[in-house]
Structure 1
């Protein structure tokens, strides 16, 4: 956003930040109550709108909980779905009925991890606990959902766009002021270079620590990209020329990876985060393909491409998504694992 526009929008940002500050104060002062539940709640969220890597970090946390012998579930809002209320994700659900990220989690864990969606996390938790034998629930993107009190709050911030350099909406992309970081139990700086110098880590940690409580750890993570996975019955990519299709907040890291892996992006069809693709848009993307080329996309976007109308357009077209995993730098994985273990304490129900 141009600096002049940012300056002009700052008064609106201050107003919005003030409203959010009053709301947070009411919760902090106990005038509004946050529910507690009989199982630990692990919240993974951010201060910024989109693009911090919540989905792969939620998956990392769930896998770690499974390794610890726990029985986790995932509760999400289900952003972008066309349904309302509580819904337990089923094999027949699509991105339209539950949202792209919940459907991705459901497929990633092969139905072994219950995944539910609900706008009101408190209602969602009560419903989820009625029907499932669970020992822990991971709250996806619930950092601002103050009606629920998390046992452990994991705050994500992107390396290229840290919250301490951003402004509140509409001048920036923050959902609340930087002071909101004080609620975090751990901060993870995401999408870092795999070899981040120690001096830079210390500088980033010092900036973040201005807003967090004393002693809150700051960890660093990077993305690991896997081999392209076929969507449907596509064979292996026939050439390095690709048409990139994205509907995510920050496609730049994927573009950088593809270039480093030897792929040549002939065309990039970039849409907004959670964009609902139309058949006409997908037809236009397919028209950019040349003989031997493939469409590459993200796993989250592939969830939305599964709609029957889009599948008809893509029939016979080679489409692949690039999977992502999280890798923590230095001892970040063991430190976060220790925090997960420490979260298993009896919780009173409110």
Structure 2
């Protein structure tokens, strides 16, 4: 794979120029971005792959839902519907996409959850619903520059930071590193616990942040229990099980489970994998299945798996979360 990426280096230069030109046209106002009179917060990244956008959106929901009417707006990747869709009691992973359905399943009594590939149409449609939102959280929209978000949160992983990468197809960046300048907040995600001061200072030096930018470090916190629709189990007491993942990077989860001394067989699928009947038939043979919350959203409607399917909840811990809350609420107040 690495050899192929180097072979594709000439294409990288073309991709770099195309994305640079597109961004320049937006910066100069030749291509138009629409801004809104109410707060729009964008969460995104520069790279392909999992940087932790879903838990970050959930972090923001918890931060804001008690004081504001909140809506999330996602593309709804791999859903089987078109256009604008608003989460309701008939929604599922096929109609909303797995991650938006996860938001709906968890926060349906607190927020609106919507999907639309055209983010401007999605925002306008949200404003027409009964009890419209006061704040819109855009999920994975950092490159969607047709919308001019009032506040941008850029995520990059500790193990594969954008400042050490190059654009596709040689690297993993969707656009050049220079795009990070659009961010109000940069969060280094999936950091080891107790990251030392010297390492943080080294990362800050490589970021070369703008005067108006703030950098935070976050870690993934795994629950001590696995959860099904009806019950839960303490993780330390688990016997051998099957781990099922359809996410961009399962390594942190595997490392956590190994650190607990657990015995499991790992079935690793590509990100947003659509489970076939053959997959389900194979899973029916397993006694206990542990998966991610996102994958649980796609699997939970299979009745044959109901008594054996569990997910491991995760949350995000952010360094100086008081400060990040103050920055976001200051934006909302102004």
- Give me the TM-score of the superposition, normalised by structure 1: 0.90
Secondary structure of the 2:127 match is helix
Secondary structure of the 2:257 match is helix
How many matched pairs? 331
Q: Any idea what the Cα deviations from partners look like across 1:82-116, whole Å, max 9, x if unmatched?
A: 11101101121111111001100011113321000
2:291 equivalent in structure 1: 297
What is the Cα deviation at residue 38 of structure 1? 2.1
Equivalence map 1:118-267=2 (5 Å): 118-131=116-129, 132-209=131-208, 212-233=209-230, 236=233, 239-265=238-264, 267=265
Secondary structure of the 2:8 match is helix
Q: Any idea what the Cα deviations from partners look like across 1:280-313, whole Å, max 9, x if unmatched?
A: 11322444x3xxx521100000011134xxx144
- Give me the TM-score of the superposition, normalised by structure 2: 0.94
2:312 counterpart (314, 322, 329): 322
Unaligned stretches of 5+ residues in structure 2: none
User: Quick one: distance in 2 between partners of 1:10 and 1:166?
Assistant: 13
What is the Cα deviation at residue 166 of structure 1? 1.9
User: Quick one: distance in 1 between partners of 2:137 and 2:4?
Assistant: 38
1:37 equivalent in structure 2: 36
1:79 counterpart (77, 80, 105): 77
Q: Any idea what the Cα deviations from partners look like across 1:303-337, whole Å, max 9, x if unmatched?
A: 11134xxx144254x111000111012x2x12211
Task: Judge conservation of contact 2:85–2:96 (CA < 8 Å) in 1.
Answer: yes
Task: Judge conservation of contact 2:46–2:173 (CA < 8 Å) in 1.
Answer: yes
User: Quick one: distance in 2 between partners of 1:162 and 1:73?
Assistant: 29
Looking at both structures, which has the greater relative contact order when contacts are Cα pairs under 8 Å and sequence separation is at least 6?
Answer: 1
1:344 equivalent in structure 2: 332
Moved more, 144-153 or 11-20: 11-20
Unaligned stretches of 5+ residues in structure 1: none
Moved more, 114-123 or 10-19: 10-19
Task: Judge conservation of contact 2:65–2:110 (CA < 8 Å) in 1.
Answer: no
CA-atom RMSD, angstroms? 1.7
User: Quick one: distance in 2 between partners of 1:60 and 1:45?
Assistant: 14
Equivalence map 1:25-104=2 (5 Å): 25-67=24-66, 69-104=67-102
User: Quick one: distance in 2 between partners of 1:299 and 1:223?
Assistant: 14
Secondary structure of the 1:116 match is strand
User: Quick one: distance in 2 between partners of 1:96 and 1:226?
Assistant: 27
Secondary structure of the 1:276 match is coil
What is the Cα deviation at residue 15 of structure 1? 0.9
1:335 equivalent in structure 2: 323
